[in-house]
Structure 1
């Protein structure tokens, strides 16, 4: 579904979400780069945009047990947060991130932290540049994860274990998530 200007509601939501992010946290330059990319690429939300595309992810966390759920990505062989490409049925970035988190974790009842995205991260993948908009999702008490077809493994890690298994981008996302949780 597209609007009169040929852009999808998801595109419009992405622009509004990015424009609404606070300038704090040292991510303003990256936020501007995402907005410039979308201005230059009306198809910049979709996997088909070879110049790069906006993706949505969510770090699933259990604040009671002080741990995060990471997936061993099937194609990249890295421990990462849940996330991926936006789909035509997605109407918002937050909705796309929550959908990806549910699909890849098998956990129903996830709730995104209030306040919008936790951070942004741009990284190169085999398909193109990913301009990832990263959220955090609180798992309900007693949540049981189920591995998806996209993962080689799925595992809960204590906050103090993440740096030993994941790259710096995941560590930064976890730190930003913890700061947001402490502020809620």
Structure 2
């Protein structure tokens, strides 16, 4: 699935998200590779891993952001399908081999988020395309490295832990999905 395929039918939920979607559409129109990390604004894909039977969501500690966030990240060279990027990143960061889009491979949320400078890398922004994935084996989680702790939480507990307003908005949407 291409970025255009995802964004064409997508309808933002509020004015802030509409502005972020407009920035992503402008990025797509202005560059051949919106995933290029050299751009001050580039596309990333992330996911909220869910266990619908228990009503829980998995968050990961991100040291750079100093916050509990969803899993996800940059596309690798040659990758262009945001759902596949979210799945790969989810599997790498959680150790869960059975991840699948849930309830479908639809966008949950589009958010442009600031990323602080680190070393030689300047501050920049991620145009984050967010999805929901599910697992049938929540006990199989394993962090990809020390310091990348993983926690299963209710959406309410997760919202209390994260410092990011845009993640709390995503979690409100997750909570509605889990309740339906």
Same-fold call, TM cutoff 0.5: yes
Alignment of 1:165-184 (within 5 A): 165-166=161-162, 167-183=164-180
2 CA distance for matches of 1:55 and 1:61?
Answer: 20
Deviations, residues 92-128 of structure 1 (Å, cap 9, x unaligned) = 1110011111111111111112151101111110241
1 CA distance for matches of 2:26 and 2:42?
Answer: 12
Query: Counterpart in 1 of 2:98?
Result: 109
| TM-score calculated relative to the size of structure 1 | 0.83
1:125 to 90, 98, 115: 115
Query: Counterpart in 1 of 2:13?
Result: 25
Query: Counterpart in 1 of 2:152?
Result: 156
RMSD: 2.0
Query: Counterpart in 1 of 2:32?
Result: 42
Query: Counterpart in 1 of 2:120?
Result: none
1 CA distance for matches of 2:142 and 2:101?
Answer: 19
1 CA distance for matches of 2:27 and 2:4?
Answer: 10
2 CA distance for matches of 1:130 and 1:143?
Answer: 30
Deviations, residues 73-101 of structure 1 (Å, cap 9, x unaligned) = 13222100001111124241110011111
SS at 1:90's partner residue? coil
Q: Structure 1: which 5+ runs fail to align?
A: 1-9
1 CA distance for matches of 2:91 and 2:165?
Answer: 24
Assess if the C-alpha contact under 8 Å between 1:111 and 1:139 holds in 2. Answer: yes
Assess if the C-alpha contact under 8 Å between 2:55 and 2:178 holds in 1. Answer: no
Query: How many residues are matched?
Result: 170
Moved over 3 A (4+): 180-183
Assess if the C-alpha contact under 8 Å between 2:95 and 2:141 holds in 1. Answer: yes
The answer to whether the aligner puts 1:99 opposite 2:88 as a matched pair is yes
Alignment of 1:129-148 (within 5 A): 129-148=125-144
User: What displacement does 1:151 show?
Assistant: 4.7
Q: Structure 2: which 5+ runs fail to align?
A: 117-122
Distance 1:76 1:150, change over 3 A: farther
2 CA distance for matches of 1:43 and 1:89?
Answer: 10
